[in-house]
Amino acid sequence: MFDEPELGRLRERVRRYLGRYLGRAEDAEDVTQESFVRVLEAAAKGEIRYPQSYLYRTARNLAFSTRARKFNQVECSLEDSGASEVIDDMEPGPEARVIAQRDFEGFCRAAAALPPQCRQVLVLRKVYGLSQREVAVHLDISVSTVEKHLAKALVRCGGYLDALHPDETSVLAKAGSTLKTPR
């Protein structure tokens, strides 16, 4: 399936790939090892048409499972420690929730008014959490174009919210003001 020289290079590439999802080198190493084990077990049961793609998909799925498991562990330990009552006390009041809902609806209207590709970049990056490189690959555009569309989208959405509520400064407008306006 994988020849010896390719195996070492592939293992390192998968480990770096997983490092982006997991953050900790130890977790990336563990998931890399588990990914290879699972792919080899699957190959023993039958032929894998695209083993490298299968390996990356397996690694990605294991990384997501690992992140979810760690998140659940943190959540459970917070509940066990009684910190959940502290967190509950910190929830925003009704006025803050109404303002947040209003801003969210305004943002949705602003995003809907964006040019189609600009809107797609914004949604893929900010809603689905794809990296700029993943957005570029998904839309078949350059990373530079993704950056320009994202900056344009944030500035326009911030301007839209500012126009709706000129007496308030939205968080989005503050974030957009630090960006260079695309030409």
CB 84 within 8 A of CB 78: yes
For domain 92-177, the CATH class is mainly alpha
List of residues 6+ apart from 171 with CB closer than 8 A: 103
Task: Check residues 109 and 161 and name the one with the higher pLDDT.
Answer: 109
Express each pLDDT in 119-143 by its tens digit.
Answer: 999 888 888 888 999 999 999 999 9
3-state secondary structure of 178: coil
Class of residue 176 by CB neighbours under 10 A (exposed 0-12, middle 13-18, buried 19+)? buried
Task: State the pLDDT confidence band at 178, using cuts at 50, 70 and 90.
Answer: very low
Express each pLDDT in 18-73 by its tens digit.
Answer: 888 787 888 889 999 999 899 888 888 888 888 888 988 998 888 888 887 777 66
pLDDT exceeds 50 at position 112 = yes
Q: What predicted TM-score, i.e. pTM, was given to this entire model?
A: 0.42
Task: State the pLDDT confidence band at 173, using cuts at 50, 70 and 90.
Answer: very low
Determine the distance from the C-alpha atom of residue 133 to the mean position of all C-alpha atoms in its chain, rounded to a whole number: 12
Dig out the tokens for 3 from the structure.
Answer: 């020849």
